[in-house]
Structure 1
């Protein structure tokens, strides 16, 4: 181990051991209480309009830090939790009250990785990099999208319709959906990675009678947990000064150059500090009973691998139960015992509905940590991918022992699994390409594909992909769209069922969000993708199904979802019904740096009668 790595490891150990803030400005974990956002419960009058203003606000992210300038909904970070009943139509005026000329809260820099040294992007401070003046001068443009909601195309995420100071974006949400957790955030095209990072996120809950009948923990025992990683600047970079509290968006330029541009490839943002509801490494006082936690990963790019541990970093079994995900309640509870350190994974934009049973933990403290790859829970890694594994701490006090809640055997009978023979599916293929692909400009892309018959197939060729499926047959596809600015390629009939296959040809792990439709994972399949040639931008040999590498669908994916993690060499098949709204929508990678770089595609949902007149599908 060289001196640089030893120095990094020593600093990590000092920080994790809970030492007081020292000359390098590290923070003591579990110092500050968890903040719970305010709640807005609209009345039943459908003429009522909820007004929520986007404003600059000062936030104390940790008691050892000075206040941090952020942007918040309604003056809070995260924004208020909006809570409605199923079928309760709500209108929201999202009004931009961020004054013209206000400095953007985020300092953006890019640093280059030096060969043989640890990746610097996860360290606090700029390491001498100059701030990006274009980001500092950005006008405060915003557009708020309600992620997961089946709303009309005019009320869904409209990244091009950003509003400036004094202007209002009015959205109407019918909320005709089973009990669920959605969430809202800024989606302004090209700059959402900085606007959402500045604090523009919040939770949205829909209630219904089926959920009520379960008697789940509620009130103070139902707590939203919005996870987001952050980085911080230092007061005096040259002197290695203390943390300033200023938000720092630091990305890494990797030394491999893209063959077309000749420029380094920029990796997405990952920050060293985990915030929960806007506070770095908070604690929550609980009593020895059941609690419900509504979790969303609001990070730009970080995937969390969560484990509940005790004071000695040993996993704590029998406490955590997964009861729901993106689209609502699961059919049955899923126990999460962290066997062999197996974590509970949550990618950007995913939601987890968790029950925690603290009844046997009175007088103890347990901690939620982010497990580093190849490390035991609670142990950081010297590569700085997870320099600080801390997330939050639960301090369990002895209550009155009157918690009568019992974990239901069945959660949702409306969450039934549809089998392939139940109904026909319109099938589509979307491929995710590596950042070195010709014509991609050093970025991963989403390609929409159409199948060719033998007479039209001319591989190998740019944009042509051959796939050998589980049945051994080779099918040939050609690219029909690749960029966000390309016109809509998929025309979907409202109320119809579709199966989308998402095939990763070597891109980084991408969580793909499909709006409007609640989908089920029909299968995860392994593929050998070495036949895809990035320099060509197509396959020289078919990418082939790998039957020797099984990828089971985990229990947490047995319910309805709208975000799907797609790893390299993997095809994820998802099925859903596109119903409840018409208009133009966009599916995207939920890594904000990828989406802002164009990794999203529009599609149109039309009334069933319309496609026949327009020539659509």
Structure 2
């Protein structure tokens, strides 16, 4: 059975749920229809696109600690440019962790304190965020906490945004190197890491600054789920390429040193015409006729996906979802298709015993057109014994209740005119790094209400949450686990119960459509 998350709501119903806040959707260049499933105009490549299913699925290298002492694992990563063959027969300059796109995959035990030292050898400043991590504020990858490369010829605090003012005291600068502390006192989950630089997250992630970070624990190990080479991270994103094979992106400033933002046609979000999985276009993975666990990460800047399989299995679901952003669900959920907004993660099992050996199974994007309709292909090439299972119960999850909330807050995500410029705002305000929109107390729960004029994947740093209602209704089973990112759809009202645990300090809430984020759709909260 396919379980979709929540009923649709009309504009009239939306206004009723929000108490008639008078929300509007402004027209103008770059503002896509609020009812569309895609962000806006398609960015087309200038070179002939490769034929799908001609390259194998790359598996990123595993990050290894350089040393371990006193209960801490120490890692070192270098952010640098490198030439990588993405489109067969051409080379692309990527910006990558250790010079690879995606960067190395971390596989770490929950609770294993890890310290990651990052050296920036790129031509621009960076900030690195462990997405989904319960992380001290000075290691969280705050947007103005920058690692500046050696001999950088510009003032890294230079800021020329039309609607935001960022004073010099808002910036924290590190020369070449920064150490990140990750206590990882949290349950097993599929996390990922990526660039988070103020004004330029979108183009820097587009160039390759991302990777998977997988946490394991004893609870998960005891379930007998597929493991080893049958536990596969899939970082899925879309890109476009110039005629020379280089990444194509509509930046106003291609050097990423001064003027932020994109050309007007792409204000709603940049979507490319090539789908990449683990950095390869429409790849193929050869599989046995057994169960595989796939950790799907929507690592796209703005594209939403609706995943399905073709052919669908004759018996049983296409996918069994076992986890979401922050780890295992309470029980598995059968899915024939599911939507994934940018930065959301879906932990699913596909049972290839439903297909005869020799079958080719395509992972499709049912929201895509032309080449973006296909994602990758699984070729069932051999028989193997399968001793794995999916238990009827996966985890005991404490369900938060409305009564536990000590405060309620509203966050309205929409396009607004500020100083004569259309920009993406929260509660009508562009980002101000010197102010806080909320000050929750440590170890409390608050009810946050999200409203929207567009598709906005909302991400909360540090704090994890549970969806309480979507348009006044209880969320579907697949959305009842712990999350850190949620798709707020046009004219929807979403209530989430947010638990603030781990650390005091300043953190961010923002839209994870990265073009929206770069155009000021962020706010601070401070845990006190």
TM class, shorter-chain normalised?
Answer: 0.7 to 0.9
The match for 2:456 among 493, 506, 510 is 510
* Native 8 Å contact 2:233 2:296 kept in 1: yes
Q: Deviations over 1:263-304 (max 9, x none)?
A: 878331011111000001000000000111111111110011
* Native 8 Å contact 1:307 1:315 kept in 2: no
Is the counterpart of residue 363 in structure 1 residue 358 in structure 2? yes
Match of residue 475 from structure 2 = 553
Distance in 2 of aligned mates of 1:283 and 1:582: 45
Match of residue 69 from structure 1 = 93
Distance in 1 of aligned mates of 2:273 and 2:78: 30
Residues 1:392 and 1:316: Cα distance change in structure 2 (over 3 Å): farther
Match of residue 441 from structure 2 = 493
Distance in 2 of aligned mates of 1:60 and 1:201: 17
Alignment of 1:565-580 (within 5 A): 565-580=487-502
Distance in 2 of aligned mates of 1:440 and 1:168: 39
Q: Deviations over 1:135-178 (max 9, x none)?
A: xxxx4211111011011111112211221225111110000001
Alignment of 1:113-512 (within 5 A): 139-166=123-150, 167-234=176-243, 244-250=244-250, 266-310=267-311, 318-337=317-336, 343-361=337-355, 362-372=357-367, 381=369, 387-400=371-384, 402-413=385-396, 415-421=397-403, 423-435=404-416, 437=417, 439=419, 441-447=421-427, 482-485=430-433, 487-504=435-452, 506=453, 508-512=454-458
Q: Which stretch shifts more, 43-52 or 585-594? A: 43-52
Q: Offset of 1:26 from its aligned partner?
A: 3.0
Q: Offset of 1:407 from its aligned partner?
A: 1.6
Distance in 2 of aligned mates of 1:269 and 1:417: 37
* Native 8 Å contact 2:78 2:120 kept in 1: yes
Residue 203 of structure 2 aligns to a residue whose secondary structure is helix
Distance in 1 of aligned mates of 2:74 and 2:188: 22
* Native 8 Å contact 1:222 1:291 kept in 2: yes
* Native 8 Å contact 1:73 1:80 kept in 2: yes
* Native 8 Å contact 2:203 2:251 kept in 1: no
Match of residue 56 from structure 1 = 81
Count of paired positions? 444
* Native 8 Å contact 1:251 1:270 kept in 2: no
Q: Offset of 1:62 from its aligned partner?
A: 3.0
Match of residue 133 from structure 1 = none
Q: Offset of 1:525 from its aligned partner?
A: 1.4
Distance in 1 of aligned mates of 2:372 and 2:466: 34
Is the counterpart of residue 89 in structure 1 residue 113 in structure 2? yes
Distance in 1 of aligned mates of 2:507 and 2:149: 25
Residue 32 of structure 1 aligns to a residue whose secondary structure is coil
Residues 1:351 and 1:151: Cα distance change in structure 2 (over 3 Å): same
Residue 272 of structure 2 aligns to a residue whose secondary structure is coil
Distance in 2 of aligned mates of 1:411 and 1:176: 20
Distance in 1 of aligned mates of 2:276 and 2:377: 12
Distance in 1 of aligned mates of 2:315 and 2:146: 45
Distance in 1 of aligned mates of 2:345 and 2:470: 20
Match of residue 12 from structure 2 = none
* Native 8 Å contact 1:511 1:563 kept in 2: yes
Distance in 2 of aligned mates of 1:26 and 1:78: 21
Residues 1:265 and 1:392: Cα distance change in structure 2 (over 3 Å): closer
Distance in 1 of aligned mates of 2:450 and 2:394: 29
Is the counterpart of residue 28 in structure 1 residue 51 in structure 2? yes
Q: Offset of 1:202 from its aligned partner?
A: 0.4
* Native 8 Å contact 1:323 1:333 kept in 2: yes
Residue 115 of structure 2 aligns to a residue whose secondary structure is strand
Distance in 2 of aligned mates of 1:264 and 1:210: 47
Match of residue 455 from structure 1 = none
Flag the structure with larger Rg. Answer: 1
Distance in 1 of aligned mates of 2:72 and 2:388: 38
Residue 508 of structure 2 aligns to a residue whose secondary structure is strand
Residues 1:48 and 1:355: Cα distance change in structure 2 (over 3 Å): closer
Distance in 2 of aligned mates of 1:360 and 1:282: 21
Distance in 2 of aligned mates of 1:226 and 1:24: 23
Distance in 1 of aligned mates of 2:513 and 2:335: 26
Distance in 1 of aligned mates of 2:265 and 2:297: 32
Distance in 2 of aligned mates of 1:151 and 1:94: 16
Distance in 2 of aligned mates of 1:35 and 1:69: 18
Distance in 1 of aligned mates of 2:103 and 2:465: 28
Q: Deviations over 1:375-427 (max 9, x none)?
A: xxxxx64xxxx553110000002223x211122101111x2322324x24311
* Native 8 Å contact 1:143 1:169 kept in 2: no
Q: Deviations over 1:178-230 (max 9, x none)?
A: 11111100111111111111001001111111001001111111111000100
* Native 8 Å contact 2:97 2:210 kept in 1: yes
> TM-score, normalization: structure 1?
0.69
Residue 163 of structure 1 aligns to a residue whose secondary structure is strand
Q: Offset of 1:307 from its aligned partner?
A: 1.0
Match of residue 460 from structure 1 = none
5+ long unaligned stretches in structure 2: 1-45, 151-175, 253-263
Is the counterpart of residue 600 in structure 1 residue 517 in structure 2? no
Match of residue 614 from structure 1 = none
Distance in 2 of aligned mates of 1:82 and 1:276: 17
Residues 1:148 and 1:397: Cα distance change in structure 2 (over 3 Å): same
Q: Offset of 1:482 from its aligned partner?
A: 4.2
Q: Which has the higher contact order (CA 8 A, sep 6+)?
A: 2
* Native 8 Å contact 1:223 1:292 kept in 2: yes
* Native 8 Å contact 2:405 2:447 kept in 1: no
